[in-house]
Structure 1
Amino acid sequence: MTTVRIPPTLRAEVGGERSVEAEGDTVRAVLEDLVARHPALGTQILSGGEVATFVNVYLGGEDIRTLGGLETEVGEGQTVILLPAMAGGSTPPRSRPVVSSLLDLVGNTPLVELSRISPKSTVQIYAKLEGQNPTGSIKDRVAKSMIEVAETSGELTPGRHLLEPTSGNTGHSLAMIAKLKGYPLTCVMPENATEERKRLLRLYGAEVVLSPGEEGSNGAVRLALELAERDPRYFMPFQYANPANPRAHYDGTGAEIAEALDHVDVLVAGLGTGGTLMGTGDRLRESFPDIVVAAAEPLPGDPVMGLRSLDDGYIPPILDVSKLDRKMLVSNAESVHAVRALLDLEGIFAGVSCGAAVHVARKIAEEMDEGVIVTILADAGWKYLSADFWEASDEDLEKSMERTIWW
């Protein structure tokens, strides 16, 4: 008998099971036996003798299309994995095939357990390592989604000038894509963003326009909107209001988590544009209806590390606050202590906003007797090396944080 892993979208047809048994010497025979045992699957797996349109099939971690297709022989102990093709396959093969573009490496990031971070052995905390994306952050997903949707709709035409407000990550992601696709790009960035972020944008070929540092990311949004209104040559994807932002997380981040884990009790992510919380939360609610979606929110007036306080005067249009089950305030100091702990205990070098998410995940874990928490680590820490908070004393920490904008 062969074990067949069933994606969440098809589990109702097999009695809610995550894995079932089927018999056969080839992938085709296994799938035919699977459908015979579970007729409710109908043509959702095989259609006209071929794999159905919206399913990818893996054997031993490899896409059968890179093997012998449906005629691939199934060895003893091997597992057949069915994945939703619309999400690009929620779990990557153990070894990625050669790809034709860097854009093909966006998404399918690792999920790792933070056993040393969790305050209780009965509460598992998993981290989605978005720093493993090509430019080092979760924003690669968003930028790719926004550009592809705009190209498909005809709103973005070859050579049109891109414009976007950013304090780093989204700008880097757009700059990488603009470089590959030949779009000129202007990024509006707070003047107190770290030097690494400004320099990386320029190395990618983007023009950098600086907004007043004391206005934070809201100032960059204001100035970018003014520039776009004055000059019609600009196309602004505008992640704060673009539905392709949460859709990237619904199709990607959330689908990947749902496929990887049997159960999730809590999702924790930083409150920035709202795209991660909205899209990932919506997708996980489909698989785990009782999940709690928790936002890590900075204290009002705190220029925290890539996050946004809703009391600071701007609520992104894509953010539906009613979908947040919890909003927990995090200070600069708490975020830095958590990101240091992440490095010291787990060896993960993450960005400062990740510290806020980890801090909230630990607090919620302390409230639980048992369960599973997933937290999103939005970026890697190398873009923040020039900041002086890494080794600052507690007395100096707040001052060092105030000098820099973190997203």
Structure 2
Amino acid sequence: MITVRIPPTLRAEVGGARQVEASGHSVRAVIDDLVERHPALGPQILSDGEIAPFVNVYLGGEDVRTLEGLDTRVTEGSTVILLPAMAGGAPSRDEGVPAARAPFSRGPVVAGVLDLVGGTPLVELTRLAPKPGVRIFAKLEGQNPTGSIKDRVALAMIDAAEASGELEPGRALLEPTSGNTGISLALVASLRGYPLTCVLPENATDERKRLLRLYGTELILSPAAEGSNGAVRLALELAESDPRWFVPFQYANPANPRAHYDGTGAEIAAALDRVDVVVAGLGTGGTLMGVGERLRESFPDVVVAAAEPLPGDPVMGLRSLDDGYVPPILDVSRLDRKLLVSNEESVVAVRQLLAAEGIFAGVSSGAVVHVARRLAGELDEGGVVVAILADGGWKYLSADFWETPDEGVAESMEQTVWW
């Protein structure tokens, strides 16, 4: 038999069960058998005999659209996961957005801390490669001034808004964030003279709240139960009611993927002669869209892969297809692989990263490393995988998962937003 995991929105159609059984040798056959056993599911997941466009199907944690679709073979004992689908709008490299700063070659003296944004190192993970002859490189975005990849995005968004005239001197900024983008904007805003207010979930880690306040940022806390989506909704409501706010809004700002096209992706292409796979977390989509576009120009056959959290797992601060908010800059059709990662898998991987390689990274990096190792195992000798590690681990020290036994990780992480 095949196990089929049912999302919360469809459980009423199967008597409230989290998972049910079905049979079949392909995904299509399993779905047909599932609907025969639970007819009420049919109108919810099928359209003209095919899977409805708003439903995603995963096998072995991978979206079947990146495999063989509904004809993907299923073996006895497999697990099929149904999830509501996300559809994003394709980002465009708006010519009106000024180019991000060129990759920076560090010298002994710089004019200011913003000149240290970007130019992060690539480090080979020699002890975590799953097979001989296949190499994994980690892009250490925790080396940016505030410790995360979001420094690139914050600087690019402010530069673009200043250049277009949208952002006048001294205008107040408002941004929804679960932490890192707010901290990065706080750095840029404090140096450029813009007052900043951040809307973030009340269950964000204490380190992030404290650092934001140290930069002089005003905090508005959104309900913990609503996660980062609640922060987005509240910020947009506030901005609509008060025109004094300028909202950079990383989720829809073309300067976000542009920063990664001109920066992160260009740096990787300049550093390596070969890239077979690049892996990043599925958050706003900016990293995946920008880096993917740039690397395809240098390596046409590169596989762009997303590490995606399970619904209800806030560990990565990444975005699940069950989250209910679609970042407009994200175009899922431009992803070659999209793999689900659990809380436990993320934490195990980030612990391994620290123990084996001495790299202290944030929890989302654990998800990325987990996927990078899995895909590296599929490559032949000579293959190269790049894993983009979004931030360092120091903002998460107040959490107790670092020393929690593996079996207790899920429970210890349930009440916190991680990115």
TM-score range, shorter chain: 0.7 to 0.9
Q: Which amino acid aligns with 1:102?
A: V
Confirm whether residue 369 of structure 1 aligns to residue 380 of structure 2.
Answer: yes
2:105 to 82, 92, 104: 92
Counterpart of 1:175 in structure 2 is 186
How many Å apart are 1:91 and its aligned residue? Answer: 6.3
Question: Gaps spanning 5+ residues in structure 2: where?
Answer: 1-98
1:202 to 196, 204, 213: 213
Instruction: Evaluate the alpha carbon distance shift between residue 91 and residue 98 of structure 1 in structure 2; reply closer, same or farther with a 3 A threshold.
Output: closer
1:13-71 deviations in whole A, cap 9, x for unaligned? xxxxxxxxxxxxxxxxxxxxxxxxxxxxxxxxxxxxxxxxxxxxxxxxxxxxxxxxxxx
How many Å apart are 1:315 and its aligned residue? Answer: 1.3
> Could you tell me whether the CA contact under 8 Å between 1:187 and 1:207 is conserved in 2?
yes
How many Å apart are 1:401 and its aligned residue? Answer: 0.9
- RMSD of aligned Cα (Å): 1.1
> Could you tell me whether the CA contact under 8 Å between 1:90 and 1:259 is conserved in 2?
no
How many Å apart are 1:289 and its aligned residue? Answer: 0.3
How many Å apart are 1:90 and its aligned residue? Answer: 3.7
1:125 to 130, 133, 136: 136
1:387 to 399, 402, 406: 399
How many Å apart are 1:302 and its aligned residue? Answer: 1.5
> Could you tell me whether the CA contact under 8 Å between 2:129 and 2:376 is conserved in 1?
yes
Question: Gaps spanning 5+ residues in structure 1: where?
Answer: 1-85
> Could you tell me whether the CA contact under 8 Å between 2:317 and 2:417 is conserved in 1?
yes
Q: Deviating runs (4+, > 3 A) in structure 1?
A: 86-91
2:360 to 343, 349, 359: 349
How many Å apart are 1:152 and its aligned residue? Answer: 0.4
Confirm whether residue 400 of structure 1 aligns to residue 412 of structure 2.
Answer: yes
How many Å apart are 1:155 and its aligned residue? Answer: 0.2
Confirm whether residue 116 of structure 1 aligns to residue 127 of structure 2.
Answer: yes
1:306 is paired with a residue whose SS is coil
Q: Which has the higher contact order (CA 8 A, sep 6+)?
A: 2
Partner Cα separation in structure 2 for residue 240 and residue 325 of structure 1? 21
TM-score normalized by the length of structure 1: 0.77
- Please list, as runs of the form range in 1=range in 2, the aligned pairs for 1:321-336 lying within 5 A after superposition: 321-336=332-347
Q: Which amino acid aligns with 1:314?
A: Y
Q: Which amino acid aligns with 2:226?
A: E
Partner Cα separation in structure 2 for residue 356 and residue 388 of structure 1? 18
Q: Which amino acid aligns with 2:149?
A: I
Q: Which amino acid aligns with 1:373?
A: V
How many Å apart are 1:88 and its aligned residue? Answer: 4.5
Seq. identity, %: 77
> Could you tell me whether the CA contact under 8 Å between 1:87 and 1:255 is conserved in 2?
no
Counterpart of 1:44 in structure 2 is none
Partner Cα separation in structure 2 for residue 142 and residue 377 of structure 1? 15
Confirm whether residue 158 of structure 1 aligns to residue 169 of structure 2.
Answer: yes
Q: Which amino acid aligns with 1:376?
A: I
Partner Cα separation in structure 2 for residue 380 and residue 147 of structure 1? 23
1:364-398 deviations in whole A, cap 9, x for unaligned? 11112220000100000000000111101123211
Counterpart of 2:252 in structure 1 is 241
Partner Cα separation in structure 2 for residue 118 and residue 359 of structure 1? 11
> Could you tell me whether the CA contact under 8 Å between 1:115 and 1:121 is conserved in 2?
no
Instruction: Evaluate the alpha carbon distance shift between residue 121 and residue 253 of structure 1 in structure 2; reply closer, same or farther with a 3 A threshold.
Output: same
Q: Which amino acid aligns with 1:269?
A: A
Partner Cα separation in structure 2 for residue 171 and residue 239 of structure 1? 10
> Could you tell me whether the CA contact under 8 Å between 2:363 and 2:418 is conserved in 1?
yes
Counterpart of 2:309 in structure 1 is 298
How many Å apart are 1:97 and its aligned residue? Answer: 4.0
> Could you tell me whether the CA contact under 8 Å between 2:171 and 2:245 is conserved in 1?
yes
> Could you tell me whether the CA contact under 8 Å between 1:91 and 1:260 is conserved in 2?
no
How many Å apart are 1:89 and its aligned residue? Answer: 4.5
Instruction: Evaluate the alpha carbon distance shift between residue 400 and residue 380 of structure 1 in structure 2; reply closer, same or farther with a 3 A threshold.
Output: same
2:290 is paired with a residue whose SS is helix
2:259 is paired with a residue whose SS is helix
2:235 to 208, 224, 228: 224
1:269-328 deviations in whole A, cap 9, x for unaligned? 000000000000000000000000000000012112221102221110000101000100
Instruction: Evaluate the alpha carbon distance shift between residue 103 and residue 90 of structure 1 in structure 2; reply closer, same or farther with a 3 A threshold.
Output: closer
1:313 to 293, 318, 324: 324
TM-score normalized by the length of structure 2: 0.75
- Please list, as runs of the form range in 1=range in 2, the aligned pairs for 1:262-281 lying within 5 A after superposition: 262-281=273-292
2:413 is paired with a residue whose SS is helix
Partner Cα separation in structure 2 for residue 230 and residue 243 of structure 1? 24
2:377 is paired with a residue whose SS is helix
Counterpart of 2:223 in structure 1 is 212
Counterpart of 1:4 in structure 2 is none
Partner Cα separation in structure 1 for residue 185 and residue 205 of structure 2? 18
Q: Which amino acid aligns with 1:238?
A: F
> Could you tell me whether the CA contact under 8 Å between 1:268 and 1:361 is conserved in 2?
yes
> Could you tell me whether the CA contact under 8 Å between 2:100 and 2:259 is conserved in 1?
no
Partner Cα separation in structure 2 for residue 136 and residue 337 of structure 1? 22
Partner Cα separation in structure 1 for residue 236 and residue 355 of structure 2? 41
1:198 is paired with a residue whose SS is helix
Partner Cα separation in structure 2 for residue 291 and residue 405 of structure 1? 32
